């Protein structure tokens, strides 16, 4: 067949991933703090956007069921394309009035009764009092907590007078992490400063003599050794003990007695002294600021036995498009460049407000389905947690799995049982014996923890014994799975637990 050029006209459909559509997808997986920072940046860049600081009433520009149906469909189709799935999904646009500042009740799920969520003040919307009164409130009167870096630097200025050694000391202090350990190898510091390793080691010895005891150590053994030297307790027997901390972790006291050359009473005293030391000497100082978890969703029990699922208005950024300012500047534009800039700002502002509204609706929809699926947990506790995966929730609410995955990342809900990450409620299934209902892996972990906490000192449960008890309770599980779950809970083996209980019994005599 001869090859020859020809022209053809074809018609097809494709979805173009515009920057705005990618932005809408990205907003889904942002946490509350990340979203706040993103919106702050947009407020600085876009002159048409402004913050809505209204204390009451619904947020403007609420998504209506008909106005942005095409946007919702494109949003879900983009999710399918982004996850390399050809499936078409449509994001539902129900559940109106999600941006109410007062009483934002948007979903009611019928279930059995449970305790109501206790009254919570402050960040959770309570109306309790506050220490802060005016711009100079109680919080502003508190002194900043001294950091470990500042504490060590002050001691360095007093202990070292040579400028070169003081420079080396400052580099060493900069390499100390929040726990108090030296986080960079000494040879690397020496190479960067162009000095010998021996000189850096000399300055390190000075820094390791600072308060708190054990600071600037390179590992746990060195940290404990410094503290023992300060207490004048670093004798040969204790040196052997510190050199074999792995045996202490395994509770292998027989081997430790042989290596240290001591009897039962001495080894018990030595181990007790090791446990009184601080393996993280820097934790008593102010380190990096810890992020406060702010729940995105409130779960409350209604008097009629249903669940109320509410969005937290404090986690919903409030932005408006200043149409008055847009009309004024549009009349004053003089060039095509200025006109294109104003048009781009308006388009970006519209997409941002729609994306924020779509994000809020999606979070609410996913959270409501999680509560419906895990009704037993909210009513009775973790033992009633059911197996759940992303596909089950996605199919129930008509979304794609990738959308549900993004929504549940870095999002939290609060209920009468505490604050939980949304991903906590997704758990693998453990088969039941016979024809019973499958069990959640998290619920099985809880049962394993309960069994070990309740075990008698004279009857420490092995993994095989735990398997047998779980099978009696209708859970079909393998021994290796029990071992994996036990290790994930940081529970030592039965042999190590038995040694620990024996040591504790000896110490109490």
Task: Output the 3-class SS for 380-394.
Answer: HCHHHCCCECHHHHH
Q: Look at residue 367 and tell me if it is in a domain.
A: yes
Instruction: Calculate the average pLDDT of the chain.
Output: 78
Residue 300 shares a structural domain with residue 207: no
Count of other CB atoms within 10 angstroms of residue 140: 9
Looking at the chain, how many residues does it have? 509
Mean pLDDT calculated for residue range 450-467: 86
Confidence band (pLDDT; 50, 70, 90) for 417? confident
User: What element of type H or E holds 129?
Assistant: none
Res 85: pLDDT: 37
Q: Look at residue 143 and tell me if it is in a domain.
A: no
Residue 218 shares a structural domain with residue 320: no
Q: Look at residue 231 and tell me if it is in a domain.
A: yes
Residue 296 has pLDDT above 90, yes or no: yes
Mean pLDDT calculated for residue range 425-432: 80
Res 57: pLDDT: 44
Could you tell me if 294 and 312 are in contact, meaning their C-beta atoms sit under 8 angstroms apart? Answer: yes
Can you give the residue range of the structural domain that contains 214? 148-284
Res 64: pLDDT: 33
pLDDT digits (tens, 9 = 90+) for 202-222: 999 999 999 999 999 999 999
Model pTM?
A: 0.56
Mean pLDDT calculated for residue range 250-274: 88
Residue 271 shares a structural domain with residue 326: no
Could you tell me if 432 and 438 are in contact, meaning their C-beta atoms sit under 8 angstroms apart? Answer: yes
Count H helices, E strands: the chain? Answer: 21, 9
Q: Look at residue 140 and tell me if it is in a domain.
A: no
Residue 237 shares a structural domain with residue 270: yes
Could you tell me if 35 and 317 are in contact, meaning their C-beta atoms sit under 8 angstroms apart? Answer: yes
Could you tell me if 210 and 152 are in contact, meaning their C-beta atoms sit under 8 angstroms apart? Answer: yes
Residue 73 has pLDDT above 80, yes or no: no
Residue 280 shares a structural domain with residue 155: yes
Residue 415 shares a structural domain with residue 498: no
Res 310: pLDDT: 92
Confidence band (pLDDT; 50, 70, 90) for 144? low
Which comes out higher in pLDDT, residue 79 or 66? 79
Q: Look at residue 130 and tell me if it is in a domain.
A: no
Res 206: pLDDT: 94
Answer with the one of 284, 314, 336 that is the final residue of a domain.
Answer: 284
Q: What is the CATH number of the domain that holds 502?
A: 1.10.10.60
Residue 302 has pLDDT above 50, yes or no: yes
Measured over the CA atoms of residue 182, residue 187, residue 192 and residue 197, the dihedral's sign is positive
Pick the closest to residue 151 from 247, 254, 284 (CA basis): 284
Q: Look at residue 5 and tell me if it is in a domain.
A: no
Q: How far apart are CA 142 and CA 285, in angstroms?
A: 16
Residue 368 CA from chain centroid, whole number: 21
Res 109: pLDDT: 54
Confidence band (pLDDT; 50, 70, 90) for 11? confident
Strand runs (DSSP E) across 179-317, as ranges? 297-301, 306-311
Residue 421 shares a structural domain with residue 478: no
Answer with the one of 395, 427, 459 that is the final residue of a domain.
Answer: 427
Mean pLDDT calculated for residue range 304-315: 88
Residue in the block written with tokens 């998504």: 63
Answer with the one of 251, 284, 317 that is the final residue of a domain.
Answer: 284
Res 135: pLDDT: 44
Q: Look at residue 447 and tell me if it is in a domain.
A: yes
pLDDT digits (tens, 9 = 90+) for 87-119: 333 333 333 333 333 333 344 454 434 333 333
pLDDT digits (tens, 9 = 90+) for 374-415: 988 898 888 888 888 899 999 999 988 888 998 998 899 999
Which comes out higher in pLDDT, residue 334 or 429? 334
Q: How far apart are CA 388 and CA 439, in angstroms?
A: 10
As for how many domains the chain has, the answer is 3
Res 202: pLDDT: 94
The strand pairing partners of 456, in sequence order, are 459
Residue 422 shares a structural domain with residue 475: no
Q: Work out whether strand 297-301 and strand 412-415 pair parallel, antiparallel, or are unpaired.
A: parallel
Residue 93 shares a structural domain with residue 187: no
């Amino acid at each position: 067949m001869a090859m020859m050029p020809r022209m053809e006209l074809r018609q097809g459909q494709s979805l173009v991933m515009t920057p705005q559509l990618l932005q809408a997808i990205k907003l889904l997986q942002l946490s509350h703090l990340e979203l706040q920072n993103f919106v702050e940046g947009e407020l600085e860049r876009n002159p048409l956007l402004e913050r809505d600081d209204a204390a009451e009433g619904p947020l403007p520009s609420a998504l209506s069921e008909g106005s942005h149906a095409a946007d919702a469909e494109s949003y879900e189709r983009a999710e399918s394309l982004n996850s390399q799935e050809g499936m078409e999904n449509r994001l539902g646009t129900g559940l109106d009035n999600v941006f109410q500042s007062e009483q934002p009740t948007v979903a009611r799920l019928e279930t059995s009764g449970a305790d109501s969520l206790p009254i919570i003040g402050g960040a959770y919307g309570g109306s309790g009092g506050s220490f802060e009164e005016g711009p100079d409130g109680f919080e502003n009167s508190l002194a900043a907590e001294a950091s470990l870096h500042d504490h060590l630097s002050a001691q360095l200025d007093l202990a070292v007078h040579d400028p070169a050694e003081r420079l080396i000391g400052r580099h060493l202090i900069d390499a100390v992490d929040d726990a108090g350990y030296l986080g960079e190898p000494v040879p690397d510091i020496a190479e960067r400063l162009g000095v010998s390793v021996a000189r850096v080691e000399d300055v390190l010895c000075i820094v390791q003599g600072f308060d708190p005891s054990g600071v600037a150590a390179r590992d746990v053994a060195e940290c404990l050794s410094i503290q023992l030297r300060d207490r004048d307790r670093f004798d040969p027997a204790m040196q052997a003990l510190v050199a074999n901390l792995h045996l202490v972790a395994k509770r292998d006291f027989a081997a430790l007695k042989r290596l240290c050359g001591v009897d039962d009473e001495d080894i018990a005293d030595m181990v007790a002294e090791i446990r009184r030391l601080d393996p993280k000497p820097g934790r008593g100082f102010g380190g990096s600021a810890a992020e406060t978890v702010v729940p995105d969703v409130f779960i409350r029990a209604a008097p009629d036995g249903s669940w109320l699922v509410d969005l937290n208005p404090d986690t919903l950024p409030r932005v408006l498009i200043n149409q008055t300012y847009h009309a004024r500047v549009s009349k004053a534009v003089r060039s095509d460049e200025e006109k294109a800039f104003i048009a781009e700002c308006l388009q970006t502002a519209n997409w941002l407000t729609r994306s924020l509204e779509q994000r809020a609706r999606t979070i609410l929809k996913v959270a409501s389905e999680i509560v419906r699926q895990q009704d037993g947990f909210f009513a009775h506790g973790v033992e009633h947690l059911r197996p759940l995966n992303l596909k089950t929730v996605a199919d129930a609410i008509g979304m794609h799995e990738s959308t549900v995955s993004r929504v549940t990342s870095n999002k939290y809900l609060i209920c009468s049982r505490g604050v939980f990450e949304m991903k906590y409620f997704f758990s693998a299934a453990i088969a039941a014996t016979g024809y019973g209902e499958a069990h959640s892996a998290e619920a099985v972990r809880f049962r394993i923890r309960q069994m070990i906490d309740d075990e008698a000192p004279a009857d420490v449960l092995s993994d095989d014994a735990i398997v047998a008890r779980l099978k009696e309770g209708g859970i079909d599980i393998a021994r290796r799975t029990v071992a994996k779950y036990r290790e994930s809970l940081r529970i030592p083996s039965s042999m190590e637990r038995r040694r620990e209980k024996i040591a504790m019994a000896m110490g109490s005599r």
